[in-house]
């Protein structure tokens, strides 16, 4: 396990460049796009403005065929002027919605910038609506507003809102926290089951019926690096966090599994029996892309909080050099293990002033820039190769079997540029 | 509060962004929280623009509220000027900033910027994207354009094109060519392609061509009044409208009406025998007011379709579209509620939809072909090839675009002849859409359900006093091509109900067919 050892000088104690200014990021409402697919009996009702509805539609990229399990209750002038009681309006819209969709078992009232600013108390609305619609429907609330949350923090806020209502249990159980595509979640569960660890519970559960308990004997592992509030809520319920690097790439996945295996007393032989074959497969799959990435430099704009673990993956497993690793927020409890493994050198930055950061990327001219969709084409037009960050959130990239795909997401822009010959042949 | 699944228009500040992004030398300072920057990707991804929109977002957060959002605005405004050195600045608020009432316009005024600062008041909770574009362009023109001497040659301003507009890029080329043939030069195209200094010389044109009333009508009316410039009322989309436009320009300028028709193909293509199958095709039209109006005329007069539904999502054009709908003996649908539009289309059971990207999805769901005629835009609406809607090439493009989703004439004929052939069954779909051909299965979910639990449903229907289909009639119905089957079913049921018939036989089916024959 030599390759698991911390780099001699990691980035955990490196000075962090903290910036604030214009942020080129999504707000937390965006998480609804993947959360509503993951939780099959949940509906997300944003209480907000036309901008919120427009964001959801645009961020989804294409409209989801069939009526999606999310919608926006758009505030109108009458709601703001106090001409109509906003709570009556919410009750009416929710009543209509639930009557039309009897398959809905959990409803999230999602706060937005306007609902926060006018101090619309969605917590009170959720309590009242739960009383009206229980036991068939549970109503919770969280904020996905841009004044409170950055992009993936929306999932954090959603999961954190579920923790206080989870039933108590004294069972010693492992809780795996963070939304994963079902196929990836199944791979993870099967690895853990093969080591004899179980039962393993997942948050979010696929449906309300699958739900889990939590208590002082629970231990939990995070699969997403942006779940700071959920982490705090679970600790409040007495659960204990198993800190580990995030399961990206062969090394990240192994370290993540190792932390859980150690907790549950899995012996080295069992661990090796379960992981040797998929580790080898992952290394082989990464190697294809790593040939292209080796020796290239990468610059991360802050987007999803996946930046630090991904920089660790690209530098340690794909041979890249990180120039700047920007993250919207850095939590030591979550990102520390990955920062330990990230060799000193890159500028770690938190927050954003996009114009200043653009000056830095232009000066550095990295081989690959990881950034949001608003910046990608303009940077390509300046001759910088980019990888759009949102794809890292929407694509299955966790654990061994996806490690090659993850590396492929970064190598594709470079391979593509090498393939295109758009000039005259001479 | 209004429950919304999909929206036809964004908020008004997105309209302002469309104006600013189309222009050069203008910067938009938008008081807005983080997250509103999503709008940048509309331009960089959907339209594939190679520059960021010229917008600075102040990016206030919860902790700034009640303390210093105003100062944040001032800093952002100053930084934006220092960094981008624009010729003029527009300032405004997004929906959230509107609520905190910082008055960006007032603040910017106190800063004594060395360039014109234009304040925008865009009410986010009552108005939408098109209004935002129209109002923004109007304010820019009102602040910057001045009366001045006319150009020596006859010139026109083309007004209305914006960033993220439906085929605006190519319409500009086509309208410029139409005017050129009449010996008329273009003075300024705005907002797209212009700078604030170009806006300042708009007064030199002899008249304005109002290409898109949605985004430039207020400016056109102001310039008519203040700069004494008449503007064109005809939007040259379609053959007839293009001829009318040329006549209108001739009338305004006193120059002879002239149009080179050598490349115009729509009229002959429409007359040629393969197009016979287009006759009386029932179409449902929905889009923005301008494109819906143009499509209705083309559909009815130039393609020989029957307009069975007509509507628009922008209420500003409600009166106009209501009047037009009366001419086609249909009731206008004025709505921005996607589910309501879907229900109206389902009820009208058209053979084709001429709509937006939203209706394309409705069409997919209902199994009805759809051609896109209007914004809201999608990455597909920015084709690499030249693809205007206006003028002569626009008419050609529209003919192709509208015919493409349909089964070709000869092919439709063959379908009737060989409708029971295992490979050539009627549900195979147009042969040039190989990948999208539906499987040979019931065309709608309703039919699927009926097939599954036909006996139970029949009993229930009879108990409710509804008509039921006898087996032979049901089987005959299945032989009717799928794209008209829904209509045949509804007509037959209507006919049966009117006649007091409770069971539909083979005879009822054909009696109904004769009854409704057109």
Tens of pLDDT, residue by residue over B40-76, are 999 999 999 999 999 999 999 888 887 788 889 999 9
Q: Does A168 touch chain B (CB under 8 A)?
A: no
DSSP letter (8 states) at residue B66: T
Nearest to A77 among B42, B96, B125 (CB): B125
CB B211 within 8 A of CB B359: no
How many CB atoms lie under 10 A from the CB of residue A78?
Answer: 14
Token look-up 């809201």 returns B376
Each residue of B472-505: pLDDT tens digit? 888 888 877 666 777 788 888 888 888 888 889 8
Name the phi and psi angles at A419, rounded to 5. Answer: -80, -30
Name the phi and psi angles at B153, rounded to 5. Answer: -75, 160
Position B361 scores a pLDDT of 87
Residue B112 Rama label (left phi>0; alpha psi -120 to 50; beta)? left
Contact A49 B96 (CB under 8 A): yes
Which residue from A minimizes the CA distance to B339? A67
Quick one: three-class SS letters along A176-222? EECCCCHHHHHHHHHHHHHCCCCCEEEECCCCHHHCCCECCCCEEEE
Residues A332, A344: Cα–Cα separation, whole Å: 16
Name the phi and psi angles at B236, rounded to 5. Answer: -80, 65
Residues B286, B354: Cα–Cα separation, whole Å: 6
Residues 6+ apart with CB under 8 A from B34: A23, A25, A27, A146, A147, A150, B57, B59, B61
Residues of A in contact with B83 (CB under 8 A): 355
Interface TM-score (ipTM) > 0.95: no
Residues A21, B368: Cα–Cα separation, whole Å: 48
Nearest to B38 among A50, A59, A92 (CB): A59
Cα angle, residue A298 at apex, residues A297 and A301 outer, rounded to 5°: 155
Residues B120, B93: Cα–Cα separation, whole Å: 8
- Measure in Å the smallest separation between the Cα of A374 and chain B Cα atoms: 4
Q: How confident is the model at residue B444 (pLDDT cuts 50, 70, 90)?
A: very low
Nearest to B52 among A28, A30, A374 (CB): A374
Residues A83, A85: Cα–Cα separation, whole Å: 7
User: Mapping DSSP to helix (H, G, I), strand (E, B) and coil, where does residue B70 land?
Assistant: helix
Given a cut of 90, whether residue B415 has pLDDT beyond it is no
Nearest to B44 among A22, A66, A376 (CB): A376
User: Mapping DSSP to helix (H, G, I), strand (E, B) and coil, where does residue A120 land?
Assistant: coil
Contact B35 A146 (CB under 8 A): yes
Contact A51 B51 (CB under 8 A): no
Order of strands across the sheet that contains B306-312: B332-334, B306-312, B282-287, B352-355, B370-372
DSSP letter (8 states) at residue A223: S
Mutate to test the interface with A, among B69, B79, B96 (most CBs of A within 10 A): B96
Q: How much is the mean pLDDT over chain A?
A: 93
Contact B51 A378 (CB under 8 A): yes
Position B483 scores a pLDDT of 62
Nearest to A147 among B1, B37, B62 (CB): B62
Contact B126 A74 (CB under 8 A): no
Residues of B in contact with A73 (CB under 8 A): 1-4
C-alpha dihedral over B365, B368, B373, B376, to 10 degrees?
A: -10
Q: Does A266 touch chain B (CB under 8 A)?
A: no
Chain A segment 184-203 residues within 8 A of B by beta carbon are none
Name the phi and psi angles at B422, rounded to 5. Answer: -65, -30
CB B496 within 8 A of CB B516: no
- What is the percent of chain A where pLDDT is above 90? 85
Nearest to A375 among B10, B52, B99 (CB): B52
Each residue of B259-281: pLDDT tens digit? 999 999 999 999 999 898 899 99
Q: How far apart are the first and last CA of chain A?
A: 52
- Measure in Å the smallest separation between the Cα of A413 and chain B Cα atoms: 16
Residues of A in contact with B59 (CB under 8 A): 20-23
Contact A381 B51 (CB under 8 A): yes
Token duo for residue B53: 């929109």
Nearest to A147 among B14, B60, B124 (CB): B60
Token duo for residue A407: 């590396």
Mutate to test the interface with B, among A20, A28, A51 (most CBs of B within 10 A): A51
How many residue pairs from chains A and B have C-beta atoms closer than 8 A? 177
Each residue of B155-192: pLDDT tens digit? 999 999 999 999 999 999 999 999 999 999 999 999 99
Position B67 scores a pLDDT of 76
Chain A segment 39-98 residues within 8 A of B by beta carbon are 47, 49-51, 53-55, 57-59, 63, 65-68, 71-77, 79-80, 84, 86, 89-90, 92-93, 96-97
Which residues of B are tagged catalytic?
274
Residues of B in contact with A89 (CB under 8 A): 1
Given a cut of 60, whether residue B409 has pLDDT beyond it is no
Token duo for residue A367: 């081989």
How does strand A219-222 pair with strand A174-177? parallel
Given a cut of 90, whether residue B434 has pLDDT beyond it is no
CB B394 within 8 A of CB B241: no
What length does chain B have? 518
Each residue of A308-361: pLDDT tens digit? 999 999 999 999 999 999 999 999 999 999 999 999 999 999 999 999 999 999
Residues 6+ apart with CB under 8 A from A18: A349, A350, A351
Position A130 scores a pLDDT of 94
Q: Does A391 touch chain B (CB under 8 A)?
A: no
Name the phi and psi angles at A275, rounded to 5. Answer: -100, -20
Strands (DSSP E) found in A75-211: 106-111, 138-143, 174-177, 200-203
User: Mapping DSSP to helix (H, G, I), strand (E, B) and coil, where does residue A27 land?
Assistant: strand
Residues 6+ apart with CB under 8 A from B131: B12, B15, B122, B316
Given a cut of 70, whether residue B121 has pLDDT beyond it is yes
Angle between helices B239-253 and B391-403 (to 10 degrees): 170
Residues of B in contact with A21 (CB under 8 A): 59
Q: Does A130 touch chain B (CB under 8 A)?
A: no
CB-facing half-sphere around the CA of B149: CA atoms within 13 A: 3
DSSP letter (8 states) at residue B436: G
Q: Which residues of B338-366 are buried (b: 16+ CB within 10 A; e: fewer)?
A: beebbebbbebbbbbbbbbbbbbbbbebb
Position B455 scores a pLDDT of 45
- Measure in Å the smallest separation between the Cα of A328 and chain B Cα atoms: 12
- Radius of gyration (C-alpha) of chain A in whole angstroms: 22
Chain A segment 107-126 residues within 8 A of B by beta carbon are 113-114, 116-118
Residues of A in contact with B60 (CB under 8 A): 147
CB B184 within 8 A of CB B263: no
CB A400 within 8 A of CB A251: no
Q: Does A384 touch chain B (CB under 8 A)?
A: no
Quick one: three-class SS letters along B107-168? HHHHCCCCCCEEECCCCCCCCCHHHHHHHHHHHHHHHHCCCCCCCCCCEEEEECCCCCCCCH
Which residue from B minimizes the CA distance to A72? B4
- Measure in Å the smallest separation between the Cα of B94 and chain A Cα atoms: 8
Given a cut of 70, whether residue A152 has pLDDT beyond it is yes
Residues A395, A418: Cα–Cα separation, whole Å: 24
CB A395 within 8 A of CB A34: no
Q: Does A347 touch chain B (CB under 8 A)?
A: no
Residues of B in contact with A27 (CB under 8 A): 33-36, 38
- What is the percent of chain B where pLDDT is above 90? 69
Contact B99 A114 (CB under 8 A): yes
């Amino acid at each position: 396990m030599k390759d698991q050892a911390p780099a001699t000088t990691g980035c955990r104690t490196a000075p962090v460049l903290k910036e604030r200014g214009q942020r080129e990021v999504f707000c937390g409402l965006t998480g609804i796009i993947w959360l509503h697919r993951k939780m099959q009996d949940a509906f997300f009702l944003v209480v907000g403005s036309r901008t919120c509805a427009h964001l959801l539609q645009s961020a989804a990229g294409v409209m989801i065929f069939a009526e999606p399990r999310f919608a926006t209750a758009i505030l109108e002038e009458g709601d703001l002027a106090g001409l109509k009681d906003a709570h009556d309006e919410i009750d009416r819209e929710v009543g209509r919605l639930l009557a039309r969709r009897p398959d809905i078992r959990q409803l999230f009232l999602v706060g937005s910038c306007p609902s926060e600013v006018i101090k619309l108390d969605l917590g009170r609305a959720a309590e009242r609506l739960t009383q009206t619609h229980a036991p068939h429907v549970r109503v919770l609330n969280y904020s996905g507003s841009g004044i409170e949350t950055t992009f993936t923090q929306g999932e954090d806020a959603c999961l954190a809102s579920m923790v206080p209502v989870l039933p108590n249990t004294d069972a010693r159980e492992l809780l795996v926290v963070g939304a994963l595509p079902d196929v990836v979640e199944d791979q993870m569960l099967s690895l853990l089951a093969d080591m004899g660890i179980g039962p393993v519970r997942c948050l979010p559960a696929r449906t309300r019926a699958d739900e889990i308990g939590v208590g002082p004997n629970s231990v939990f592992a995070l699969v997403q690096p942006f779940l700071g509030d959920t982490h705090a809520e679970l600790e409040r319920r007495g659960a204990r966090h198993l800190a580990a690097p995030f399961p990206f790439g062969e090394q990240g996945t192994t370290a993540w599994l190792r932390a859980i295996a150690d907790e549950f007393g899995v012996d080295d032989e069992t661990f090796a029996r379960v992981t040797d074959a998929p580790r080898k497969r992952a290394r082989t799959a990464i190697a294809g892309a790593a040939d292209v990435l080796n020796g290239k430099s990468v610059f991360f704009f802050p987007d999803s909080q996946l930046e630090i673990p991904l920089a660790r993956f690209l530098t340690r497993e794909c041979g890249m050099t990180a120039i700047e690793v920007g993250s919207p927020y850095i939590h030591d409890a979550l990102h520390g293990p990955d920062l330990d493994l990230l060799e000193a050198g890159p500028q770690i930055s938190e927050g954003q002033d996009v114009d200043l950061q653009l000056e830095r990327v232009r000066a550095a001219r990295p081989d690959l820039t990881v950034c949001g969709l608003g910046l990608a084409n303009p940077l390509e037009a300046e001759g910088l190769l980019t990888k759009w960050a949102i794809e890292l959130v929407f694509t299955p990239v966790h654990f061994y079997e996806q490690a090659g795909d993850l590396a492929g997401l970064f190598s594709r822009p470079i391979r593509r540029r090498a393939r295109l010959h758009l000039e005259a042949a001479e | 509060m209004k429950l919304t699944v999909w929206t036809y228009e964004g908020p008004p500040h997105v309209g302002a962004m469309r104006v600013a992004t189309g222009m050069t030398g203008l910067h938009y300072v938008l008081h807005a929280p983080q997250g509103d920057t999503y709008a940048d990707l509309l331009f960089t991804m959907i339209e594939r623009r190679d520059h960021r929109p010229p917008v600075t977002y102040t990016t206030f957060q919860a902790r700034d509220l009640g303390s210093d959002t105003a100062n944040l605005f001032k800093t952002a405004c100053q930084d934006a000027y220092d960094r981008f050195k624009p010729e003029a600045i527009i300032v405004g608020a997004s929906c959230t900033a509107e609520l905190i009432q910082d008055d960006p316009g007032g603040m910017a005024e106190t800063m004594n910027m060395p360039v014109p600062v234009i304040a925008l008041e865009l009410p986010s909770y009552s108005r939408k994207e098109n209004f935002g574009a129209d109002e923004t362009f109007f304010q820019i023109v009102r602040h910057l354009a001045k009366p001045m001497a006319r150009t020596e040659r006859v010139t026109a301003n083309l007004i209305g094109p914006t960033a993220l507009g439906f085929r605006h890029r190519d319409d500009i080329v086509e309208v410029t060519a139409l005017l050129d043939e009449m010996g008329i030069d273009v003075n300024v195209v705005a907002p797209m392609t212009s700078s604030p200094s170009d806006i300042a010389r708009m007064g030199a044109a002899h008249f304005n061509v109002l290409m898109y009333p949605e985004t430039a009508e207020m400016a056109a009316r102001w310039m008519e009044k203040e700069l004494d410039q008449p503007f064109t009322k005809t939007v040259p989309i379609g053959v007839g409208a293009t001829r009318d436009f040329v006549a209108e320009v001739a009338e305004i300028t006193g120059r002879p009406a002239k149009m080179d028709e050598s490349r115009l193909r729509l009229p002959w293509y429409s007359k040629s025998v393969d197009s016979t199958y287009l006759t009386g095709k029932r179409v449902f039209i929905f889009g923005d007011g301008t494109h819906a109006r143009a499509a209705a005329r083309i559909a009815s007069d130039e393609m020989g379709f029957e307009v069975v539904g007509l509507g628009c999502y922008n209420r500003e054009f409600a009166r106009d579209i209501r009047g037009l709908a009366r001419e086609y003996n249909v009731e206008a649908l004025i709505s921005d509620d996607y589910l309501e539009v879907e229900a109206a289309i389902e009820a009208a059971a058209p053979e084709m939809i001429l709509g937006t990207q939203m209706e394309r999805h409705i069409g997919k769901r209902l199994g009805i072909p759809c051609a896109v005629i209007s914004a809201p835009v999608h990455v597909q609406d920015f084709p690499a090839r030249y693809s205007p809607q206006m003028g002569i090439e626009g008419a050609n493009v529209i003919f192709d675009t509208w015919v493409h989703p349909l089964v070709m004439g000869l092919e439709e004929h063959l379908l009737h002849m060989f409708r029971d052939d295992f490979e050539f069954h009627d549900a195979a779909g147009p042969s040039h859409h190989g990948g999208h051909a539906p499987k040979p299965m019931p065309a709608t979910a309703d039919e699927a359900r009926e097939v599954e639990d036909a006996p139970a449903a029949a009993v229930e229907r009879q108990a409710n006093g509804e008509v039921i289909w006898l087996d032979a009639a049901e089987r005959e119905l299945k032989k009717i091509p799928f794209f008209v089957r829904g209509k045949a079913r509804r007509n037959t049921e209507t006919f049966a109900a009117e006649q007091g018939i409770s069971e539909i036989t083979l005879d009822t089916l054909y009696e109904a067919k004769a009854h409704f024959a057109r």
